[in-house]
Structures are given as C-alpha cells and as structure tokens.
Amino acid sequence: MSTMVMTGGTSGFGALAAARLRESGDVRVILGARGRGGADALGLDLAELESVRAFASAVGEELAGSAVDALVLNAGLVLADAGHRTVDGFETTFAVNHLAHYLLARLLLPSLAEGATVVLTTSGTHDPATGAGLTPPRHADAALLAHPERDPGLDGRPRKAGEQAYTASKLCTVLTARALAGQDAVRDKGITVIAYCPGQVFGTGLAKDLPWYMRMAWSVMGSPVVSWPARRFDRTLNTRPDAGKALADLASGVARPPAGRGYAALRGGELTWPDPSDAALREDSAQELWTANAALVGLPG
C-alpha cells in the first residue's frame, strides 16, 4: 500500500481526487484539513505556520518510519482583496496558497520515498499569455507578497490587488516546484515534481470568499447546462471530475511528465505539458524565492 499526504482534499476537484485515490484500494491518503476531513485527516490550517509544523510532525508519527509516496499540495483560496493577514502577519492568499506549502514540502522532504511524486496545484492565471481574466502577477518577491503594504507598485484597487495576490501566489508555486526539483535530496531520491494547472474548473468552493454576484456566476458557470457548450469552445475549461482524475493520475504516477517537463496543464480534459510563463522559467527568480521563503519561515535557505 502506498501513502499519500494531501492538502485541499475536502472540497472541489481535490475531494474528487482524494476519493478516487482511496477507491483505488491500495492507497492510504492522509489529508491535512481544517475540519471534516474524514478518518484519515489530521488537523491543518495553512493560515498558521505553527499548524503546518504540527501537521508535519503528526504525519511523522502516523508514518511510524514508513515513507510518503506522494505529496499533493492542492489547497488554495481566492480573496476579494489583499487586506487579510494570517496570525503570522503575512498576506493570507500568499501565505495559504504558497508559503505554507513551501514549509510543508521542506518539512516532509526527509520523509519522501525514493521515486516519490510531489504535485503542487498552480493556475494558468500565473501566465499573462493565457489571457485569463485575472490581473497577472508583477513579481515573485516573497517579502513584498507577504507584506503588500510595503510594495510601492501595489494596485490601489482592492479587487485588482486581491487578484494579483492570487496570480502571484501561483507564479510562486511554479517557481518553487522548479527550485524543489533542483534540490540535491530530491535529485538523489529520484523524486518527480510537477506543477499542475487544472485549467478553469467552475463550480468548486474557490469563489466562497468572493462577493455574492461572483459566487453566483461561478456556480452558474459550473452547472452542466452552461459548462458543457462552453467547453466546446474553450479548452481551458474542465469539469471537476476531469480535474480530479488528472490530479489523482499525477499523484499516483498513472500520468508521468515527459523528460524535462514539470508543468502539467489540463486542456480539454487532457493533460498537456507546455512551458509555464516566462517569469516562471527564470532560474534566478526560483532561487531567490526559495531563499526568501526560507527566511520567512525560519529555515536555512
């Protein structure tokens, strides 16, 4: 039996992926969840770094010396602005979507098995070239993303600043996937690291913190009657079952990246392996972000 550790498995396509993995019969899925995560869930609030550390040590106890075959970092949120702060004092979207997952990956790295897989859920909105409706990221400077009030270029319009916090967190995710793949311990163990873009998956819980009219639009777009014809014209649109299946396939190794690829984008229900954005390909940015994240969470760079 293989063991997977997963965040974001209580809602949306992540819940479908977790169920699919469990149903495959030979996988134990340890969920990190805030509340109702089921029998195999351990408490985890990504908005609190101390909770991430406690979760990592609880996972260590559960493992009792065995190893993790897949680490799936799928949790995420979208907020209406960039004005929220975690208990650690960091902007919440950056902290939950990115920084907490960086810390978790580093804490669990020693527990990963030879040949393990790490999947980090990102978003095509990190890439201005996808033409997604959200404001694209301006940079991946962790110190400024953690404290946007110090960012001289911060968009003064709350909604735009919120969108940028989200798209920047997802740019950081791709950069961190690339930096993680370059770590000696990851190379030595032959670990595969994949940044996964599920495309646009309407009808999940992702809009729950947005204003009512956006929640309503999100829900309507996710209804079969609207989404089925829309998918015929836009390959970035995917169903929740397709996005969940692709995530499960990546985690379990059913889908493997072609040599030299690490960015999986679900398009028309099929996994594709394009380049991420130009900014996400910058080696210097990946290294700088790795070191800056380390400083924020109190680990060596």
Ligand X SMILES: NC(=O)c1ccc[n+]([C@@H]2O[C@H](COP(=O)([O-])OP(=O)(O)OC[C@H]3O[C@@H](n4cnc5c(N)ncnc54)[C@H](OP(=O)(O)O)[C@@H]3O)[C@@H](O)[C@H]2O)c1
Binding mask 7-46 for ligand X (x = CB under 6 A): xx-xxxxx------------------xxx--------xxx
Residue with the CB atom nearest ligand X in the bound state: 12
Closest approach, Cβ 245 to ligand X, in A, equals 13
What secondary structure, in 3-state letters, does the chain show? Answer: CEEEEEECCCCHHHHHHHHHHHHCCCEEEEEEECCCCCCCEEECCCCCHHHHHHHHHHHHHHHCCCCEEEEEECCCCCCCCCCCECCCCCEHHHHHHHHHHHHHHHHHHHHEEEEEEEEEECCHHHCHHHCCCCCCCCCCCHHHHHCHHHCCCCCCCHHHHHHHHHHHHHHHHHHHHHHHHCCHHHHHCCCEEEEEECCECCCCHHHCCCCHHHHHHHHHHHCHHHHHHHHHHCCCECCHHHHHHHHHHHHHCCCCCCCCCCEEEEECCEEECCCCCCHHHCHHHHHHHHHHHHHHHCCCC
Residue 96 binding ligand X, by CB under 6 A: yes
Closer to ligand X by Cβ: residue 13 or 94: 13
Q: Is 276 in the site for ligand X (CB under 6 A)?
A: no
Stretch that binds ligand X, among 59-67, 74-82, 250-258, 271-279 (CB under 6 A): 74-82
Is position 47 an interface residue for ligand X (rule: CB under 6 A)? Answer: yes
Applying CB under 6 A, among 167, 200, 236, 285 the residue interacting with ligand X is 200
Q: Does 2 bind ligand X (CB under 6 A)?
A: no
Judged by CB under 6 A, the number of residues near ligand X is 27
Q: How far is the CB of 200 from ligand X (least distance, A)?
A: 5
User: Residue 74, interface with ligand X (CB under 6 A)?
Assistant: yes
Query: x/- site string to ligand X, residues 105 to 144, per CB under 6 A?
Result: ----------------x-x---------------------
The binding site for ligand X (CB under 6 A) comprises 7-8, 10-14, 33-35, 44-47, 74-77, 96, 121, 123, 198, 200-201, 204-206
